[in-house]
Structure 1
Amino acid sequence: MSDNNDFFLASQFWVTGEMYKRRADLVGFVNGIPFLFIELKAPHKRLETAYTDNLTDYKDTIPHILWYNQLVILSNGSESKVGSATSEWEHFADWKKINDEGEEGIISLETMIRGTCAPERLLDLVENYMVFMEVPGGLVKLVAKNHQYFGVERAIAALSDIKSRNGKLGVFWHTPGSGKSVSMIFFSQKILRKVSGNWTFVIVTDRKDLDTQIYKNFANTGVVTEEQAQATSSAHLRQLLGEDHRYIFTLIQKFRAGKGEAHPVLSERSDIIVIADEAHRSQYDTLARNMRTAHYPMPHSSRLPEPR
């Protein structure tokens, strides 16, 4: 894919605004479009000043250099962070490894450049690991963090070998606040773009507020446009699974059967992927058993993670 594109990196690139001129440290172009913006500071300088003193100024004085931007990298050599042109400082993140084997560069900047700017990686990030989200105050652009990129890549790789894995895609761990719903978006959207099939994603949680929060994140990124994608009852869940939906959101409590009855099969499709959130909690009770017994309600689906 990268062979069909032209990559060019300009150093000390002068940009003229309506009133001011500014010289950017590094601007990376793909087919003449300024995709990459890198601000460098001396090793003894606090990295945050690259944001507060430089990037903030560029947004005011030469905003057009960022109109088509995909990645913003800030670095003083030993510390490097990546984000988007709309990211606040606290949302810029480290990129801790170059590849899934854990390779690191000699310094942080090498890890960042090789981990995000290698041509194939950069194009993959642009196509599959960026999303716009409506938030209070306007539209922001989210860029995958290191753990999201490699976690999604591993899960998608597992999908290609799903039969021998007996439907198990693995476990994708997140710490609180690390963007698990956004990881779900990256995962599902890349599958829809890259893997043939009439895929349906069933997102399972164990709390109503969490179900609503995840649904809103999908809706606020434009990924989900249906208002009826949230199952309101066990019967509604069965109805949704019998129809053609890209996304279905449900509480685990909707996997109910009558007293003493085995849970009925809800779908025989093999192109359903079940994503269970907060898998360490309620997956140990009766409702979880309804999802993992021999009478699994979607016996040919794939699961991330596998209910335990």
Structure 2
Amino acid sequence: MYQFHEDELEQASLEWLENLGYEIKNGPEISNDGDYPERNHYADVVLNGRLEKVLQRINPKASATTVQRAIQQVTVVQSPNLIVSNQVFQKYITDGIDVEVRTEDGRNTVEKLWLFDFENPSANDFLAVNQFTVVEGNNNKRPDVVVFVNGLPIAVIELKDSTNEAVGISEAYHQLQTYKQTIPSLFQFNAFLVTSDGVNARVGSLTANEERFMMWRTTNGKTMAPTSMPQLEVLIQGMFQPAVLLDLIRHFIVFQTDGEKTVKILAAYHQYYAVNKAVEEARRAVSESGDRKIGVIWHTQGSGKSLSMVFYTGKLVLAMNNPTIVVLTDRNDLDDQLFNTFSISSDLLRQSPKQAESRSNLKKLLSVESGGII
């Protein structure tokens, strides 16, 4: 079993990220008084220079003024409620940023800009920074590792010492909760949080309680990682590969609300790989040479079948240009449960599902040629 002091674990994390193609920086060197400043103030959590450069590159038709407006639109605090702000940012990730521009002939029009190039991961900017100091109000905090994509702080990794039995992964979780309360600006753009004590490693969303922070057990989705491999190395290799990270933040995060409380859900590793395999097989099966046979995904009870269906549907809607998707169940209570799950996931699905009440109603819904979820 590996044993890490906290500083050793921090350096190991940076090395694992560097091996995946990330640029590595130290927090003090990019601060306003550092050797290579990228921030004007310690309150700045977005690296605007990187964001502007990448937005110009991946949105080549946009003017410099339009890019600046997009940056202002994204980086402004959307709400005093952190989860609301984070949900707005998630919409910018998945749907792009609509910027109102004035044409040369005086007309107002809307131009869409994208924060990330999902088709070409190498066109994006991947950076990991250790000891990134954030000052907000009277609070001065320094998370261990912050992962930036295109200058936006997408993930925070908090580490603890595995050689100290009095401090463990639970302490890392509680430290992140403190950060959320004291420096919330850092988390407006957060996709997920990582905790580790060198022996254990877990990942969870902004709203996840400690029990919902889960292991990531594979680096490739084909074989389980050996137990001799540090869990944090497995998690970093499995989740932070540039193409995988972009896929996760675009297709495998969903916000659900019951009207009173909003929760943010990140797919577990088995859901991520199962859904991607199912989408791949669906596209193959319906191709010109396809055999119309896709396959079966088997889940144990309580392992997230309903959410797997939501993630699958959300990705399929884009992959197959808004097909008609029919969800069949064999019990009325299950049908109602699934319909509710799909209904509160409409942001990811980009549409509201419809529930067929009878055979005739189903036929009517299927007669619509514009696709849909039934």
Deviations 1:195-229 (A, max 9, x none): 234401100111111111111111112237547x1
* Alpha-carbon separation, structure 2, partners of 1:15 and 1:224: 35
2:191 counterpart letter in structure 1 = Q
Deviations 1:256-275 (A, max 9, x none): xxxxxxxxxxxxxxxxxxxx
- The residue aligned with 2:367 is 242
TM-score between the two structures when normalised by the length of structure 1? 0.75
Alignment-mate amino acid for residue 342 of structure 2: F
Report the secondary structure of 2:357's partner residue.
coil
Residue 55 of structure 1, CA deviation: 1.1
1:50 maps onto 2:177 in alignment: no
Q: Which residue of 2 aligns with 1:118?
A: 241
- For 2:210 and 2:125, how far apart are their aligned partners in 1? 31
- The structural deviation recorded for 1:177 is 2.1
Q: 2:331 aligns with which of 207, 210, 234?
A: 207
Measure the CA separation in 2 of the matches of 1:19 and 1:175. Answer: 48
Q: How does 1:1-308 map to 2 (within 5 A)?
A: 1-43=120-162, 44=165, 45-52=167-174, 54-102=175-223, 104=225, 106-135=229-258, 137-162=260-285, 166-193=291-318, 195-222=319-346, 223=349, 226=352, 229-244=354-369, 245-248=371-374
Deviations 1:78-117 (A, max 9, x none): 2111111121112111100011221526211110001001
Partner secondary structure for residue 64 of structure 1: helix
Aligned length: 245
Structure 1 unpaired stretches of 5+ = 249-308
Contact map agreement 2:172 2:195 (CA 8 A) in 1: yes
Check conservation: 1:97, 1:103, Cα contact below 8 A. yes
2:114 aligned partner: none
State the TM-score, normalized to the length of structure 2: 0.62
One-letter amino acid matched to 2:273: F
Decide which structure has greater helix share: 2
Query: What is the letter of the counterpart of residue 177 of structure 1?
Result: G
Corresponding letter in the other structure for 2:170: E
Can you list the C-alpha shifts for 1:62-92, whole angstroms capped at 9, x where unaligned?
Answer: 1111110012111112211111112111211
* Deviation, structure 1 residue 22: 0.8
Contact 2:153 2:186 in 1 (8 A): yes
RMSD over aligned Cα atoms: 1.8
Greater RCO (CA < 8 Å, at least 6 residues apart): 2
Compute the displacement of 1:61 (Å). Answer: 0.7
Gaps of 5+ in 2: 1-119
Q: Take 1:225 and 1:4, find their aligned partners in 2: how far apart are those partners?
A: 30
What is the CA–CA distance in structure 1 between the aligned matches of 2:160 and 2:190, rounded to whole Å? 20
Shift of 1:134: 0.8
> SS at the partner of 1:42?
coil
